[in-house]
Structure 1
Amino acid sequence: MTIRSDTPATLDVAALRHLMDSGSAPRLIDVRTPGEFETAHVPGSVNVPLDLLREHRERLRTHLDGSEREQVVLVCRSGQRAAQAAAALAGAGPVGPRVLEGGILAWQGAGAPLRTGRARWELERQVRPVAGSLVLTSILAGTLFPPAKWLAAAIGGGLTFAALSNTCAMGMLLAKLPYNRGPRRPDLKAVLSRLAQRETTP
Structure 2
Amino acid sequence: MTASETTRPATVDATTLRELIDSGRAPRLLDVRTPAEFETLHIPGAYNVPLDLLKEHRAELRSHLDEDVVLICRSGARAGQAQQALAEIGLPNLKVLNGGMLAWQASSAPIAQGRQRWDLERQVRLVAGSIVLLAILGSVFVPGLKWVAGFIGAGLTFAALSNTCAMGMLLSKLPYNRGASCDLDSVVGQLRQTGERA
Whether these two folds match at TM > 0.5 is: yes
* TM-score between the two structures when normalised by the length of structure 1: 0.91
- Which secondary structure state, in structure 1, belongs to the residue aligned with residue 30 of structure 2? strand
- Which secondary structure state, in structure 1, belongs to the residue aligned with residue 115 of structure 2? coil
1:37, 1:31 → 2: CA distance?
A: 8
Mapping for residues 162-181 of structure 1, pairs under 5 Å: 162-181=159-178
1:93, 1:138 → 2: CA distance?
A: 46
Count of matched residue positions in the alignment of Structure 1 and Structure 2: 195
Regions of 4+ moved over 4 Å: 91-94
Percent of pairs identical after alignment?
A: 62
User: CA deviation digits over 1:46-81, x for unaligned, max 9?
Assistant: 00001111111111122212xxxx210000011111
Bigger proportion of residues as helix: 2
User: Where does the alignment leave 5 or more consecutive residues of structure 2 unmatched?
Assistant: none
Of 97, 100, 113, the residue aligned with 2:97 is 100
- Which secondary structure state, in structure 2, belongs to the residue aligned with residue 144 of structure 1? coil
Check if 1:12 corresponds to 2:9: no
1:83, 1:157 → 2: CA distance?
A: 23
Cross-structure match for 1:140: 137
Cross-structure match for 1:78: 75
- Which secondary structure state, in structure 2, belongs to the residue aligned with residue 89 of structure 1? helix
User: CA deviation digits over 1:158-196, x for unaligned, max 9?
Assistant: 0011011100011111111111114x2420111111111
Check whether the contact 1:139–1:148 (CA below 8 A) recurs between aligned residues.
Answer: yes
Check whether the contact 2:42–2:101 (CA below 8 A) recurs between aligned residues.
Answer: yes
Quick one: structure 1 residues 52 and 5, their matched pair in 2 at CA, closer, same or farther if it must change by over 3 Å?
A: closer
- Which secondary structure state, in structure 1, belongs to the residue aligned with residue 10 of structure 2? strand
User: Where does the alignment leave 5 or more consecutive residues of structure 1 unmatched?
Assistant: none
Cross-structure match for 2:61: 60
Cross-structure match for 2:44: 43
CA drift at 1:6: 3.2
Check whether the contact 1:62–1:92 (CA below 8 A) recurs between aligned residues.
Answer: no
User: CA deviation digits over 1:21-67, x for unaligned, max 9?
Assistant: 111110000000000000000000000001111111111122212xx
Quick one: structure 1 residues 5 and 127, their matched pair in 2 at CA, closer, same or farther if it must change by over 3 Å?
A: closer
Cross-structure match for 2:156: 159
Of 187, 190, 195, the residue aligned with 1:191 is 187
- The code of the aligned residue for 1:59 comes to E
- The code of the aligned residue for 1:33 comes to T
Aligned-CA RMSD value: 1.6
Check if 1:129 corresponds to 2:130: no
Cross-structure match for 2:24: 23
